Amino acid sequence: MNKSRVTSRSIKKYGLKVPSLSPFFWIGSISLIAFLITLIYILPNNTPCANSKSCTSDLTEKIENGSIAMYQGHTLPAPTIDLLPKPNAYNVLGETTSPELKHIYVDLSAQKLYAYENDKNIFETLVSTGRWGKTPTGNFHIWAKFRATRMSGGSGDDAYDLPNVPYVMYFYHDFGLHGAYWHNNFGHTMSHGCVNLRQIDAEYLFNWTDGPSNTNKGTSVSVCDTFTQPNICKQDNPIQL
Amino acid sequence: MGVILTYLIFNKDYSSTQSKSVVEASTPSIESSSQPSPDGLWKVLMTTTPLASGSAQYIFSTVDKSNIQQEIYSHITNEKYMIPFNAWSPDDKYVFIQKDTGEAYVFTRSGDPITSLESFLDVKAIFNQTERKDIYDHVTGWASPSLLIINTMTDNGEKGSSYWFEVPSKAIIQLWGDF
C-alpha cells in the first residue's frame, strides 16, 4: 500500500489538513535554527565591561613584577607583588566568620564602602567608583579573587594600562573591588566602573572576603545608589541576575 | 613650739596644693592623629599641643615602618589643621596637610625643600596668583603621583571647575568637569 495515500486518507478521515511540504523546506528551517543558535554563542556578549580591553581576554591572575603602568598620559612603576605570606599576618578585620554572614555594601552617592558581619559594621572606608563608566548597582557575589591582575582600557587621553592591580575581587563580570596604586583621591569617582580602594583597605577586605566554594557563593556585595546603615540599600535600576 | 608646728603644717598643705596646681598647668593635653600612606609603608603624624594663649602648636612628622620619625613642619596658630584621608601621593613621595578653612600645603616626605627656594608649596596662594574667575575651595586628593586636584567655587556660591595642580612645577590645568 502506498504510504502517502494511507496518510492522506487518515488525514481526511479526521478532518486534519496538513500541507505537503517540500523536503527543502525542512532542510532550510533546520539550517536557519542552527545558524541562529550559532550566532547566540559567537556574537559579542552584551554584558558591560569595566575595562574595555582587558575584559575581552581571560580574567585570570597575572603577576608582572617590574612592569610600567600607564594612566591618563602618565607612566609609573607598578607595585611589586610578593606572593609569600606576610610574617605574623593576621585577619585585621577580626575573627573568621561564616561566609554567609559577610556582606559588603558600596554607597555610590557617598563613595563609601561598609563591611558587615551579620548586622555588625566591622569596617568602613572611602572608595572611588565609576566616573568614566558607571559602577553597576545590584546584589552580587564575589565570583573570583586574584592577588593581582592587569586592567586596561579607555582610549586617547583616557587610555590606561595597569599591570599588577592588587587584591582583586570580581563581583560582576570584570567589575570588582581592588586596590588602586595610581591615584589617591578616594571619596570621589575616579574609575571606569570598578570600586577602587586604598591598597591597605583592599588587602584587609581580600583577606576577609570569600570566593565561591562548593557550598557557598562568594561574599555578598551590594552596590547601592545610596546606603543607610545597617542594611537599607537603595538601587534605582539594579542589574537583575 | 606649737606655733612653729602649726605654721609648718599649714605651709606644707599650701605647698602641696600649689605644686599640684603647677603640675596641672604645665601638662596640657597633647592630641595626635595620623594617616597611613595607601600602601601602608608610611604614616603622617600630627601632634597638637594647646597653648595658654588659646592657640596651639602643630607638629607634623612622617613615620616609617620602623617608627622612625622625621619632622617636616611645625606651626603655632589659632587656626585648625587636619590630615586629610588622601594626604599621601600614590608613590609616597609627597604629603599634603590642610587647614579646616581649605588651605593646603604640600611637603616632601623627607622634609627636604620641595623646590630650590621653598620648603613647601602653599596651594591656595599659588592658585590665587593665576587670577582665575573660580575661587579656590579645597584640595580633594591626588589624581596621580604628581597631580593634586583642586575644587573651586564660583562667585555666586556654586561649584566651579576642578583643576590639576602639578607638584613641584606648580602648573595649574583646568579640568573638564569637577570632582
Percent of chain A with pLDDT over 70: 83
Share the mean pLDDT of chain A: 86
**Global pTM?**
0.81
A154 torsion bin: left (phi>0), alpha (psi -120 to 50), beta (else)? left
Closest partner residue to A188 (CB to CB) among B36, B140, B144 is B140
pLDDT in tens, A77-110: 999 999 887 665 545 665 567 888 999 999 999 9
Closest partner residue to B143 (CB to CB) among A181, A185, A199 is A185
- Is A198 at the interface with chain B, CB within 8 A? yes
CB A219: neighbour CB atoms within 10 A?
25
CB contact under 8 A, A186 and B145: no
Q: State how far the Cα of B162 lies from the Cα of B175, in Å rounded to an integer.
A: 6
Question: What is the β-pairing status of strands B104-108 and A144-153?
Answer: unpaired
Q: Which residues pair with A124 in a beta bridge?
A: A114
Closest partner residue to B144 (CB to CB) among A182, A187, A188 is A182
pLDDT in tens, A137-177: 999 999 999 999 999 998 888 889 999 999 999 999 999 99
- Is A75 at the interface with chain B, CB within 8 A? no
Q: State residue A18's pLDDT score.
A: 55
Distances (CA, A) of A130 to A103, B57, B166, B170: 21, 40, 24, 28
Which helix (H) or strand (E) covers residue B106, if one does?
strand B104-108
Q: Could you report the predicted ipTM of this complex, rounded to two decimals? A: 0.84
- Is A112 at the interface with chain B, CB within 8 A? no
Residue of A95, A1, A56 lying closest to A173 (CA atoms) = A56
Is B12 a residue whose pLDDT tops 50?
no
Looking at residues A30-53, what average pLDDT do you find?
A: 72
CB contact under 8 A, A76 and B90: yes
CB B118: neighbour CB atoms within 10 A?
13
